[in-house]
Amino acid sequence: MDASVSKGAEVSERPRTSDSVEVAPIKSVGIIGAGQMGNGIAHVAAIAGYDVAINDLKKEMVEKARALIERNMSRQVSRALITDSEMQAALRRIKYAPDLAAVGDKDLVIEAATEDEAIKRKIFAELCPKLKSSTILATNTSSISITRLASATDRPERFIGMHFMNPVPMMQLVELIRGIATGDETFGAARRFVESLGKVIAVSEDFPAFIVNRILLPMINEAVYTLYEGVGTVESIDKAMRLGANHPMGPLELADFIGLDTCLSVMQVLYEGLADSKYRPCPLLVKYVEAGWLGRKTKRGFYDYRGEKPVPTR
């Protein structure tokens, strides 16, 4: 691991100019999106002592997220990872934000909406006028250009990529990605925040899909090609990688866990951003997404999850 990942370093190896507005210490966090990633980020932030406000299009989504957070925290209590009093205190820190104005006074706002650039840009256009001038704006995108997203905001110097891994409470890594305009103070504050959550940082340059997904998603896409070409079945491909490469989860099972729509979005970003045919999304992956078979979240993907036990669909 290089020096840019070492704990306590304040900036990456590339010199940058300072922010035009001083960055305040982060004490409160706003989260846009109450889905799989948003509720996980809220979970770890609340445990770490931050006041958290979650906004989503529907209040029911936030209520569902809060119930899931409580269940996940209860598991942590049962495993003696946190105490019941710590769980109760953390749950009290999580509030529903009825609109974007309700997150406007937070020190850090993390966008965790779906992996769709048009949707993210629309959120930023509505959100930025409601933010205080010193607020850091972060995106949890897993593949989209930080520089390009930052250009859709009023604060490119205080904009950063903060890519959490799924499931957030369990996974140690967070990728930090600077856009071309991201200031040193912003980077330092983001690093300190992530480390305060007990996470480990890997610094990535702003290239399509960053580090983890640049490596992981082409492997998953190749597994789909292996299925598409009839080299092996769903079961045999996953078994081969679990037992032959010692992977904890087979690539097709992992694709279902991530969401096939997200997998396709990342591959499209790689294919369009790097113009290399080796990143072409497999037609079978496209077909599954078109069918609405997106994996675990829709109960069908490369496996059918509607029964007691997952059953391969091919």
User: Tell me, which fold does domain 212-312 have in CATH?
Assistant: N-(1-d-carboxylethyl)-l-norvaline Dehydrogenase; domain 2 (1.10.1040)
Instruction: Give SS3 for 278.
Output: helix
Amino acid (one-letter) located at 257: F
Q: Are 239 and 115 in contact (CB under 8 A)?
A: no
pLDDT of residue 21: 54
Q: What is the pTM of this model?
A: 0.86
Terminal Cα distance for the chain, rounded: 40
pLDDT of residue 43: 98
Q: Are 132 and 150 in contact (CB under 8 A)?
A: no
190: which strand partners?
Answer: none
**Domain 24-204 identical in fold to domain 212-312:** no
Q: Which CATH architecture has domain 24-204?
A: 3-Layer(aba) Sandwich (3.40)
What lies within 8 Å, CB to CB, of 311 at 6+ separation is 303, 304
Q: Which residues are catalytic?
A: 142, 163, 175, 213
Residue range 194-222, pLDDT digits in tens: 999 999 999 999 999 999 999 999 999 99
Q: If we measure between CA atoms, which residue out of 127, 129, 66, 132 comes closest to residue 94? A: 66
d(CA 43, CA 225): 36
Tell me which residues of the chain have a pLDDT lower than 50: 1-13, 15, 17-19
Domain limits of the chain?
A: 24-204, 212-312
What lies within 8 Å, CB to CB, of 122 at 6+ separation is none
